[in-house]
Amino acid sequence: MENKNYTNDQITQIPTSEFEPLEKSTKVEREAITAPSLNFLQDSWRRLKKNKAAVFSSIFLIIVLLISVVTIFATPHDPTEQNSSYINLPPKIPGIDINGLNGVSEVGGEMVDRYEAADVPEDVHFYLGTDGLGRDLLSRLFMGVRISLMIAFIAAALDIFFGVSYGVISGLLGGRVDNYMQRVIEVLAGIPNLVVMILMLVVFNPGIFSIVAAMAITNWIPMARIARAQTLKLKDQEFVLAATTLGESRTKIAFKHILPNISSVIIVQMMFSIPEAIFFEAFLSFIGIGLTPPTASLGTLLNEGYKTFLFLPYQMVIPAAVLSVIMIGFNLLADGLRDAFDPKMKE
């Protein structure tokens, strides 16, 4: 209806066509739900998308994982191939004429093209330079990230298998069984990881298996404690008591009722355990009791770069930066998942 101004004398002459009847709202219309109905996962995903840091971290980590998988089959150079003629070459990126990134470095107070001095072919480039044995650092970095992530994901899988199983069984059975199981955890928690790793080296040779075995002994304890606490909170809820009254076994209750309700907490804890495992492996390899050459990991790259840090800082700075960024990415993603799965954060 058009907006018109009428005088008092004209009000009585307004035609009925100028009026539009109002639709009477019913009780059903007033109480209709205008927002779409979302389940738990959809609602959590909605909140996660609002966390820009978590979204960016997830995209970055997916790219890192894809690169790690692709570089299994294709790398710029063989990461274990040694060439004594190409020792400690600086980075050289085609199209960039900046000292330090064009193959030129200072030797005896003069800027020298190290690639020309080493008779490196024009079509051969080492984008991150080479190490003290002439190996391509970029190819070794790809290999190191892949090995570190593999160890971290294996450790996370062991945390879920041992920690969740132990915690749910302890919390669901309760009583004397729970008391005994918690005393075992307290004994294991009192053993430092470094001591466990040294004991593993007495039995096994240094390598991936010994690191994973050391993680499998103690790293699942925080997951077990969290799973037990959540199980104790849920087992007295009405839906669990109803299932018990109906005669369902404890195994069925654990898989059907307990685990689905604590899955969000398990996922968040797993995401926090991955960067811890990456750092633990890097620390062990850095001090020389982790992986052994020629296998590369972020820890071994740091160990090798540390020896020449004052003269060739890029050999240590690059793997240190990659390690830091990956750990920050996992922690930011874990924070975002924790906020997304927490019902108290719901708007």
74-113: per-residue pLDDT in tens? 888 888 888 888 888 888 888 787 777 777 877 777 778 7
pLDDT at residue number 120: 84
The whole-number average pLDDT for the span 57-75 is 91
User: What percent of the chain has a predicted confidence (pLDDT) above 90?
Assistant: 16
Whether residue 326 contacts residue 63, with contact meaning beta carbons closer than 8 Å, is answered with no
Output 234 or 36, whichever has higher pLDDT.
234
How far is it, in rounded angstroms, from Cα 200 to Cα 190? 17
For residue 326, pLDDT over 90 is answered with yes
Task: Pick from 10-14, 231-235, 247-251 the range whose average pLDDT is largest.
Answer: 231-235
How far is it, in rounded angstroms, from Cα 263 to Cα 258? 9
Output 289 or 31, whichever has higher pLDDT.
289
For residue 70, pLDDT over 80 is answered with yes
pLDDT at residue number 142: 92
pLDDT at residue number 7: 58
pLDDT at residue number 3: 54
Output 231 or 34, whichever has higher pLDDT.
231
For residue 345, pLDDT over 60 is answered with no
pLDDT at residue number 18: 64
pLDDT band, very low/low/confident/very high, at 195 (cuts 50, 70, 90)? confident
pLDDT at residue number 1: 46
For residue 264, pLDDT over 70 is answered with yes
Output 16 or 216, whichever has higher pLDDT.
216
Round the average pLDDT of the chain to a whole number and report it.
82
Q: Alpha helices of 159-297 — where are they, by DSSP H?
A: 165-173, 175-189, 193-203, 208-218, 221-234, 238-245, 250-253, 259-286
Contacts of 237 (CB under 8 A, 6+ apart): none
Write the DSSP assignment of 243-277 as a string of letters: HHHTT--HHHHIIIIIHHHHHHHHHHHHHHHHHHH
Task: Pick from 45-49, 65-69, 256-260, 278-282 the range whose average pLDDT is largest.
Answer: 65-69
pLDDT at residue number 92: 85
pLDDT at residue number 95: 79
pLDDT band, very low/low/confident/very high, at 311 (cuts 50, 70, 90)? confident
Contacts of 221 (CB under 8 A, 6+ apart): 163, 185, 188, 189
65 burial (CB, 10 Å; 0-12 / 13-18 / 19+) is: middle
For residue 240, pLDDT over 90 is answered with no
Q: What are phi and psi of 109, to 5 degrees?
A: 85, 0
Between CA 336 and CA 339, with CA 338 as vertex, the angle to 5 degrees is: 65
pLDDT band, very low/low/confident/very high, at 141 (cuts 50, 70, 90)? very high
User: Which of 104-118, 142-156, 213-227, 285-299 has the least mean pLDDT?
Assistant: 104-118
